[in-house]
Structure 1
């Protein structure tokens, strides 16, 4: 491993993905909202979060071009899911709409990533990733304000806050920055990975907090019996 700390810190994504899967497999673990009705989406989210780990490991362990592409692709997949899942609920559509939106967002990110480098953020793929996350949170705010469901928005703030702190730390660890210390156990990029994993968990908790307003909620036991 060319970057041991930055490689191994990606186990945080694997751990969070497994936590999501464990909660999804527990009776009542998906609340009474959309995930309870469609638990297969929770499984998909768990898989995407886990994938972030080995995909980013590929880049930091090898420092190869292929590893870099895998890393960016996994970022697009998680951001694309966040946008598509929020859009599906915002416009009261089904899984087919989610799949089409998901594919379109990931493709758009890949195309934006081809535009090359930009100041500060380094790669246009990072711009696409950040834009998607901002769009997802904005759509989640629209879902909450529509009034059909209630969301515990504290988890949205926690997800956004974790990413912003992670970004600030990532900035201090870029090449040439004061805290870029290749030989140190402390790696700002590794902290970025761990905080992004925390953000992924907070986003899942936001999804689980969803509950219908003004109609009978799906009971946890009934939700557990619904097909994915």
Structure 2
């Protein structure tokens, strides 16, 4: 199986970019880190993979904007439960959002929304934020965020490759897992605090 995946990556790079593009629309951060790893391994090229993850993630942002702009609360009533969209949360967040919309959009992009990214992106469309300003704000944040995530994957893969023994590699992986767990817990706590505020 590993050999087959490797052969596909080497001989069918277009399929690799296409797969990354599609999955980035739905799960940008994880795929961006993964893209950094395969960049280090030489399966993809720098400029194409950077463009792929940025464009894929921005397409996802545009989809949320369009849903909010054209379908509004009707979409929340019908499908909100599947995407963690709550009308009460949207109404409360909108009061803050309308005062600091571009700062919130940029902050959401740089933190993956702390679990509220769909709400914020949907709200931008619902609030009729001018699309050009919405897109440019997200583009700036996306370039920064994608660069950070790609670099994380790239340098982790590089560091892993420089280690000489199994113990060092296990230690690196363990440290990384612990750091990720702590980061997820921190973001979850922040999200819960925001949830409590919105109740």
Structure whose alpha-carbon radius of gyration is higher: 2
More helix by share: 2
Q: Is TM (by shorter chain) over 0.5? A: no
